[in-house]
Amino acid sequence: MYNITPLIRSLILINVVVGLFQYFFGITPYLELWPFNTPYFEPYQFLSYMFAHGSFGHIFFNLMTLASVGATLESYWGEKKLLFFYMAAGIGAGVIYGGINYFFAPGLLHPMLGASGAIYGLLMAFGMSFPDLEMSFFFLPVTIKAKYFVIILGGLTYVFDRSGEVAHFAHLGGAVIGFAIVSYWKATGR
């Protein structure tokens, strides 16, 4: 079903190992990205939050998306370019999320975690790189163009968020960073 490439396999493995450490050793509070205005914030969290997840469903859907679009992008760009992109989208999503909350919701004291910012960056890149590629929509027997697939998939998180705990600005931040990087690469021929 999926052609898992070496970097994608490594990223999935890192996420799973971190998830197991979270479950067995309770390290989640040290990995989450805490708001800038709390004593718990540390700069390393811009990296660590991307590999920690809040639940099995959270990690499952992030890693399924990583496997499905990330492998194609790795084959297209190469391992180094994809690794740079993934890290930039994830870290950029954390910075945007933290900055928006710092200035517009300074009373927010909840941490954020998950690969979703990087994943939304990958979704944006996939839609921009392969806009007319026909894709299956989950397990349904219909196909849809990638440019619409990523919009629908990106919008589902807003539709199904009943808890109010989803870091929508991290998702948006990852997509914005992804758009900026792909646009720059296209403009410069990289």
- Whether 1 is covered by a domain: the verdict is no
Q: Work out the number of other CB atoms within 10 angstroms of the CB of residue 106.
A: 11
Q: What is the pLDDT of residues 143-189, one digit of tens each?
A: 889 888 888 877 776 666 555 555 778 888 999 999 999 999 999 98
Q: How far apart are CA 7 and CA 78, in angstroms?
A: 9
Q: Residue 178 belongs to a domain with what CATH number?
A: 1.20.1540.10
Answer for the pair 175, 118: CB distance below 8 angstroms, yes or no.
no
Q: How far apart are CA 4 and CA 68, in angstroms?
A: 8
Question: In the predicted model, what is the mean pLDDT of residues 54-77?
Answer: 92
- Whether 3 is covered by a domain: the verdict is no
- Whether 2 is covered by a domain: the verdict is no
Answer for the pair 81, 17: CB distance below 8 angstroms, yes or no.
no
Q: What is the span of the domain harbouring residue 39?
A: 8-188
Q: What is the pLDDT of residues 88-138, one digit of tens each?
A: 999 999 999 999 888 888 877 889 999 999 999 999 999 999 999 988 766
What global pTM score does this model have? Answer: 0.90
Give the total number of structural domains in the chain. Answer: 1
- Positions of E strands within the chain: 134-136, 143-145
